């Protein structure tokens, strides 16, 4: 038996430990990707919910200002939110010199006149087509509304998963609210004429 190899239980155990290490490494990579995806989706959902809540809150406040006819209330509230002095936007990325313009707030007063949307006042004169279409669908002729759009940067852990979840490419999240306020027929005609 000079040339025969002897196999013992120690050799089989070392072989089994090596295969377990490889299997664990492969499984750990998959589990880490799943964990990263879950963290990403939770962060994304929370941020999106916060933006929708903030835009709704801002629109409701501005609509109540316009309904009372207090132009100073509308102007002051608009300036406070645009300068990020309000608590509603604290959880969103801030606009610092180190991170330029990461959160944008667009507040616009619009009116629907002859089935066309007109911008009356606000910090922008242009609404993206999907926002304008949504606002136009809510408004009837000679109605006036406040549209609040909040956009922010989002840095994803897994960009492809975020793309599937958002159904859009890029790292910008956007939420908007259209809040219609009721005014009398004569005031509606005056308001529509001044836009």
For the chain, the three-class secondary structure string (H helix, E strand, C coil) is CCCCCCCCHHHHHHHHHHHHHHHHHHHHHHHHHHHHHHHHHHHHHHHHHHHHHHHHHHHHHHHHHHHHCCHHHHHHHHHHHHCCCCHHHCCCCCCCCCCCCCEEEEEEEEEEECCEEEEEEECCCCCCHHHHHHHHHHCCCCCEEEEEEEEEECCCCCHHHHHHHHCCCCCEEEEEEEEEECCCHHHHHHHHHHC
Examine the pLDDT at 5 and tell me if it is beyond 70.
no
Residue 147 makes CB contacts below 8 A (sequence gap 6+) with 59, 106, 107, 108, 109, 110, 122, 127, 131, 135, 176, 177, 178, 179
Q: How far apart are CA 28 and CA 100, in angstroms?
A: 37
- CA-nearest of 73, 59, 83 to 144 is 59
pLDDT at 84: 62
List pLDDT tens digits, range 77-109: 877 777 665 566 666 766 554 555 477 888 888
User: Distance of alpha carbon 119 from its chain centroid, rounded?
Assistant: 23
pLDDT at 42: 86
List pLDDT tens digits, range 114-162: 888 988 888 888 888 999 999 999 888 888 899 999 888 877 777 776 6
List pLDDT tens digits, range 164-186: 766 655 677 888 999 988 665 55
Q: Give the predicted TM-score (pTM) of the model.
A: 0.72
């Amino acid at each position: 038996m000079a040339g025969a190899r002897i196999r013992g239980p120690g050799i089989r155990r070392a072989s089994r430990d090596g295969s377990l290490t490889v299997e664990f490494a492969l499984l750990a990579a998959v589990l880490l990707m799943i964990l990263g995806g879950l963290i990403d989706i939770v962060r994304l959902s929370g941020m999106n919910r916060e933006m929708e809540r903030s835009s709704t809150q801002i629109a409701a406040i501005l609509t109540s200002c316009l309904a009372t006819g207090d132009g100073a209330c509308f102007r002051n509230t608009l300036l406070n939110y645009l300068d990020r002095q309000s608590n509603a936007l604290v959880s969103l990325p801030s606009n610092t010199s180190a991170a330029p313009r990461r959160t944008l707030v667009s507040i616009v007063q619009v009116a629907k006149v002859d089935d066309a949307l007109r911008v009356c006042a606000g910090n922008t004169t242009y609404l993206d087509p999907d926002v304008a279409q949504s606002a136009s669908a809510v408004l009837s002729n000679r109605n006036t509304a406040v549209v609040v759009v909040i956009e922010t940067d989002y840095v994803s852990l897994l960009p492809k998963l975020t793309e599937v979840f958002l159904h859009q490419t890029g790292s910008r999240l956007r939420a908007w609210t259209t809040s219609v306020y009721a005014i009398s027929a004569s005031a509606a005609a005056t308001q529509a004429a001044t836009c």
